[in-house]
Structure 1
Amino acid sequence: MSAPKRPKFSVGDIVVNTLYGTVGTVTDIQQVDGTFLYEINHGHSLFAEQTLVLLSEFTGDLWIAEEIEIELPFFLGEIVRVHDYGGQLFKVVGVRTEIYRYYGEGWEETIYELKRLTDGWEIEVHLEDMIPLADGDETSVTLVQDIVIAAPMKASIALPSAGEKSGPSVDDLLDMYNDYKALYEWFGDDQYKRMMETVVQRLQTIVNYHNKN
């Protein structure tokens, strides 16, 4: 009688998601139909074993995450004035944050979408151009939004020697695709569908590389 299958990774292991090159910690392990699935950083998605590699064994490119706090002093539906528009009143109908990263510098810009009360005319303005109607801060509302972006970083790990694999093989990718296809059918989470598409893109890259060589 064969011993029961055990998970490849343990809770607390630091692993690399080879589809995205991102690093995370295993925070939960689940088993579905005999397949072990791993939760990373308390996220909502589960990952198959073929997707993950221990950080100590990884030889490719990593991505480092940067967490940014964006303060949104105006909330949706608030009535405001705008510089250069006199006493005209506008209603906040949308907001977005644009993130810029260049070598050696970076910044964020918050842009509000406004609709004029008199005729519904819409404009977009930067945060610094908006004027609150309230005189004091006690009536204003501040929202804090966490945005995670990624910047490429070469892994400081030795490259594989001759004969070693630098990434998942075609068979591994096919297994990944089948695993995520099953997960998508089970849970209906679009995240798994996007992962299926990412696997297909990786397979296409491999095929194109071999066709050129």
Structure 2
Amino acid sequence: MPRVNADALGDHGSAARGHGPTETEPAMIEDPLRPLVERARRGDVEAWARLYHELIAPITRHLRYLTGDADSAEDLAQETFARAMVDLPSFVGRSRFSTWLHGVALNAARRHWRKRRNGQRAFAQLTAIAIVREANAQGEPEQAAIQRRRAAALYELLQTLPEPLREAFILRDLEAIPLPEVAALLGISAGNVAVRASRARARIREGLARRGLLTG
């Protein structure tokens, strides 16, 4: 199973093995969290705590998408931040900090998958739960039942996708990470990311259509 290619982002650490910045590497990109990151790099505990509180929820959600298990996601989120704290001095800012952290989390999930290779769960269980909750909140029993069936079908279909398609779909469609950053995370071209995500969407739409559950 391939590792996240954070070298392509110009940052390294637990997400990948890197060799530090060079004059030929791309310049740092704008990141609203950069001031906090710089303070944290200098040992500011309060700044690190603020980064943690800012990002723990999206990172945990990301890991729930990837593992399909809330308890594992919470444990892996803590592991992600622990590794990120150790590797923070190697983060040089050629990606958004949140994207770099997603890479650390993805590698943590991959280590988790290797340990549970014979018992992997679907990636998008949280998506199914969210759909059901939204349907229930509408207070329309018939619509809620349709949404529950659609959520169950989506959950099943995502389990059938090859891992490369699942990863591209989750990062692009569920996490809405920009295409170039997904390409850097996965170590493939932006074109390949787009192709994988498109194939995943097509398979999901086809599966939902066969079940009479395609909307829009």
The normalised TM-score by structure 2 is 0.29
Larger Cα Rg: Structure 1 or Structure 2?
Answer: 1
Structure number with the higher helix fraction is 2
Structure number with the higher strand fraction is 1
Greater RCO structure (CA 8 Å; 6+ sep): 2
